[in-house]
Structure 1
Amino acid sequence: MTQAHTEAGWNFDNSYASLPDTFFTKQNPTPVRSPQLVIFNRPLAAALGLQADALDGQAGAEVFAGNRIPAGAKPLAQAYAGHQFGHFTMLGDGRAILIGEQVTPEGERFDLQWKGPGRTPYSRRGDGRAALGPMLREYIISEAMYGLGIPTTRSLAVVTTGEVVIREDDLPGAVLTRVASSHIRVGTFQYAAKWGSAEELQALADYTIHRHYREAAQAENRYLAFLAEVIRRQAELIAKWQLVGFIHGVMNTDNMSICGETIDYGPCAFMDTFDPATVFSSIDQQGRYAYGNQPQIGVWNLARFAETLLPLLHDNQAQAIQMAEKALSQFAEQYYGTWLAGMRGKLGMFGEEADDVSLMEELLSLMQKHRADYTNTFLALTFDRLNGSELFATPEFAAWQEKWQARLARQSQSADDVLQLMKQSNPAVIPRNHRVEAALEAAVQDGDYSVLRQLLAALANPYAHSAEQAEYASLPPEACGPYRTYCGT
């Protein structure tokens, strides 16, 4: 296996490899037969300090498939554990390998990871490979989340491998190159607490604080400050998911990033019809990870994280538990504060009034009752296009609208100020499920990536409200039936 040359702009500094080797296994990818670069994120490459022209072709395909190791990289598979649907188990990078940490010209550090590069010691009975459809899906959704301004991992490239991946059917194989601030998870700390030593747990905590939470190092109790900041970031992240109708689909503790980014886009999707009970994932039979449950699951996951830090919080376990519980009690206020601010923006409301919450909840209740589309309802309110929905023809909505307009009339901001706030709070376009499926079908079945590229272009700036985006706001035909997503493993 050869190394890719440095003229591509590789600038690796592999700090994670300095941790005790219990946290990873050095692992090279398994070369593939015939890699072909099918989508490449040139703007992201440039932001990482990479030379896009040097990678947008066969040379890049060899690197992004894992056939060539970038100069300075130290590939490894990370070990972690996790609660999957509430059940604790040993896990690890079963179909992913960390290429290394790219340091940008501005000094920022990002993990680059292959997803689907072959077996690792954590693969269990899996083949370590990935199919093209799920990798393109992650590319679309993660880049859409970035456009929406929501903290997320990103996608740099997808290559086809020229090999078949055997699942329920024979599928074309692919490798995704993912970019993240890091891949440290709640499950990484669970692994350290369960199978590592006290010194290894502390080494992981100190490393994570230094990498992501340096301000916590100055606190009287740095581990408590660390816990509090992780809770705050997750509360804000999940509130932002709720505001755009995003459903992660598999909020296991191994899928919660310590740095506060959305990670692991498996059976995720965006809600059309507003209903808190919405579940898309084919494996979530009980609705554990339904849209309306995401905040509570976030707290549950963070409690599992807090448990791992107890030995570091205080020598007295009872006091450590008390400290952790107090930190966790802040989640609700932080989540709700972010959600309220976001909802005020979506409704054009400046300042705060006592009845704001009831106004928001009444609208959501009406939306649920009349099966209104979540995104398009707020768009209709933004541009005063109140037609085409059963909701807008009801006396209940008319009564609500009167109260809303009275609320807007009491604030000093102009109508144009209200419009601008609503435009920047309500996206014109989300990755509609039927649009994503159409793009994937064209790419996977026909090798036609034009549909996917057009969709990505529409999603790149969802608050532009351009004429070109209008067609992507259309709803799926009712004949499509209930939408189901799959994890892709």
Structure 2
Amino acid sequence: MKLISRYTDIADAFSVTDTPTPVGAPEVLLWNDHIAEELNIDLNSSQQALYFSGNKINSDVAPVALGYSGHQFGHFSPRLGDGRAHLLGAIVDKNNQAWDIQLKGAGATPFSRGGDGRCSIGPAVREYIMSEAMHALGVPTTRCLAVVASGEPVYRQTPLPGAIVTRVASSHIRVGSFQYLATQGDVAGLKALADLAIARHYPKIEATGTERYLAFLNAVMQKQIELVVSWMRVGFIHGVMNTDNTLVSGETIDYGPCAMMNDFDFDTVFSSIDHQGRYAFGNQPNIANWNCARLAESLIPLISDDEEQAVELLSSIINHFADQFNQAFTEMWEQKLGLNGSQASDNELVSELLTLLKQYNLDYTNTFNDLTQSLKDPQMMPAVLSSWAKKWLARTDEFSYGKMSEANPRVIPRNHIIETIISDFIEHKHSAQLDEFLNVLKNPYQADNEISKYQDVSGDLDKNYQTFCGT
């Protein structure tokens, strides 16, 4: 397993050399064979446990903890950083693309602020399942290579078995990474980081000077729009859209308090610490806009020495967020409903449907699946939507079923199923249900007789359901 170093030449305080704290009895609980094969990782189970618990370190590259700032629920923290994560380095896959390899829960770092730097088994298992599900759903995401039990307890509200999760990402460059350097007044570091992000994620940007970094902001904004539209298409609620959890690559990161929406409601919130609904399902576009504006602020020194002029140029991009998001959002609804082209009345058609979904407490995923299947079997049409459906059917054609089948998943990672699997791992370190569940999630848009039990909603579980960050 050959690693290469990353981020060490950005700025002195950007990456801090730090070694994971060894654990007592590492044991592999989950291993992603597909990712391992793509990354040319060929290790036996004992080696997997040692390397991906942090007990054995690659001698060629020193692990680092990355520094970054963050607006957490709107409040700025200038120095956050990897408080419980160690970047081992990067590994090159079969297509010659480099991927960050990070251990989450590998012990305290200089950024831990008094925390233990550990992760309990629940959030580790949740991240593994959710990231694999999101990948299969076609949503840009970081991935998980492994979950390794530490053999040691972590102490939260109660003692829980500990685990280390191995995250694979195209990069760990966050909006908060730029805020961190901007706060320190490190213009050289900002430029180096922006150039690295462009080379890695937006190599088609060939402009120089001011135009280069304006194009970068615009590209990041487009990726954030695409990401949030994808989340909302499948009913995903991130739960903690802080700027330190916003990757400039446009990939989903940090699955701590995330959840899937069952009954449709734009105001749905599951995170135990989101008391004001800042990161509610329907507020995610506004927060993405807000986060992009924070990135723009950080880029001011790269745009012009005249701050007023820089703000004007950056604002000219950010001010187009709403229009561009609304266009992408409208196109998403056209796909979910299989509409034949677009008409002025389509917004009213969608609005009326969503009103009915909320009024009758209809399940978001199952309802759109039923609508899709009703094009072939009219009996699948929910009775409460029959009047609305007459207007909808007039807007469909012979291509509608195909469009809807690609946009509307038949199965999602239901919250109650994930909680059952997590409970199994806490108690037994394995779950008999997991293999079948992961196999179903690999093809979430396809018909399969085995998926029916994973389409069932959970009764009243989500009425009082809460998710937690795990720190």
TM-score, normalised relative to structure 1: 0.92
1:21 paired with 2:3, answer no
Q: How does 1:463-482 map to 2 (within 5 A)?
A: 463-478=445-460, 481-482=463-464
Return the alpha-carbon distance in structure 2 between the equivalents of residues 78 and 480 of structure 1: 36
> Could you tell me which amino acid in structure 2 is paired with residue 467 of structure 1?
N
Task: Determine helix, strand or coil for the equivalent of 1:450.
Answer: coil
- Gapped regions of structure 1 (runs ≥ 5): 1-9
- For residues 363-409 of structure 1, the C-alpha deviation after alignment (integer angstroms, 9 at most, x for no partner) is 111111111110000011011167799xx333xx333111111111x
Return the alpha-carbon distance in structure 2 between the equivalents of residues 445 and 374 of structure 1: 32
Match of 2:132 among 135, 143, 146: 143
Which residue of structure 2 aligns with residue 448 of structure 1? 430
Shift of 1:72: 3.2
Aligned-residue RMSD, C-alpha: 1.6
Shift of 1:61: 0.7
Which residue of structure 2 aligns with residue 327 of structure 1? 317
Shift of 1:421: 1.7
User: Residues 209 and 217 of structure 1 are in contact (CA less than 8 Å); yes or no, is this contact kept in structure 2?
Assistant: no
User: Residues 87 and 102 of structure 2 are in contact (CA less than 8 Å); yes or no, is this contact kept in structure 1?
Assistant: yes
Which residue of structure 2 aligns with residue 5 of structure 1? none
> Could you tell me which amino acid in structure 1 is paired with residue 151 of structure 2?
G
Which residue of structure 1 aligns with residue 197 of structure 2? 208
- Gapped regions of structure 2 (runs ≥ 5): none
1:402 paired with 2:384, answer no
Which residue of structure 1 aligns with residue 53 of structure 2? 65
Return the alpha-carbon distance in structure 2 between the equivalents of residues 219 and 96 of structure 1: 34
Q: Count residues with an aligned counterpart.
A: 467
Shift of 1:334: 2.6
Shift of 1:71: 5.0
Q: How does 1:323-472 map to 2 (within 5 A)?
A: 323-384=313-374, 392-394=382-384, 397-408=385-396, 411=397, 414=398, 417-472=399-454
> Could you tell me which amino acid in structure 2 is paired with residue 197 of structure 1?
D
Shift of 1:34: 0.5
Return the alpha-carbon distance in structure 2 between the equivalents of residues 24 and 146 of structure 1: 29
User: Residues 28 and 75 of structure 1 are in contact (CA less than 8 Å); yes or no, is this contact kept in structure 2?
Assistant: yes
Q: How does 1:21-420 map to 2 (within 5 A)?
A: 21-51=12-42, 54-55=43-44, 57-70=45-58, 72-89=60-77, 90-218=79-207, 221-384=211-374, 392-394=382-384, 397-408=385-396, 411=397, 414=398, 417-420=399-402
User: Residues 29 and 429 of structure 2 are in contact (CA less than 8 Å); yes or no, is this contact kept in structure 1?
Assistant: no
Q: Which moved more, 1:397-406 or 1:367-376?
A: 397-406
User: Residues 124 and 147 of structure 2 are in contact (CA less than 8 Å); yes or no, is this contact kept in structure 1?
Assistant: yes
- For residues 290-313 of structure 1, the C-alpha deviation after alignment (integer angstroms, 9 at most, x for no partner) is 111100011111111100001111
User: Residues 219 and 225 of structure 1 are in contact (CA less than 8 Å); yes or no, is this contact kept in structure 2?
Assistant: no
Task: Determine helix, strand or coil for the equivalent of 2:394.
Answer: helix
> Could you tell me which amino acid in structure 2 is paired with residue 77 of structure 1?
A
Q: 1:386 and 1:92, CA in 2 relative to 1: closer, same or farther beyond 3 A? A: farther
User: Residues 262 and 462 of structure 2 are in contact (CA less than 8 Å); yes or no, is this contact kept in structure 1?
Assistant: no
User: Residues 187 and 253 of structure 1 are in contact (CA less than 8 Å); yes or no, is this contact kept in structure 2?
Assistant: yes
Return the alpha-carbon distance in structure 1 between the equivalents of residues 135 and 271 of structure 2: 22
Q: 1:479 and 1:208, CA in 2 relative to 1: closer, same or farther beyond 3 A? A: closer
User: Residues 240 and 338 of structure 1 are in contact (CA less than 8 Å); yes or no, is this contact kept in structure 2?
Assistant: no
> Could you tell me which amino acid in structure 2 is paired with residue 168 of structure 1?
Q
Return the alpha-carbon distance in structure 1 between the equivalents of residues 280 and 435 of structure 2: 30
1:11 paired with 2:11, answer no
Shift of 1:479: 5.9
Return the alpha-carbon distance in structure 1 between the equivalents of residues 462 and 340 of structure 2: 39
Shift of 1:445: 1.4
Return the alpha-carbon distance in structure 1 between the equivalents of residues 200 and 3 of structure 2: 15
> Could you tell me which amino acid in structure 2 is paired with residue 189 of structure 1?
F
Q: Which moved more, 1:312-321 or 1:286-295?
A: 312-321
Return the alpha-carbon distance in structure 2 between the equivalents of residues 374 and 250 of structure 1: 21
Which residue of structure 2 aligns with residue 3 of structure 1? none
Identity of aligned residues (%): 46
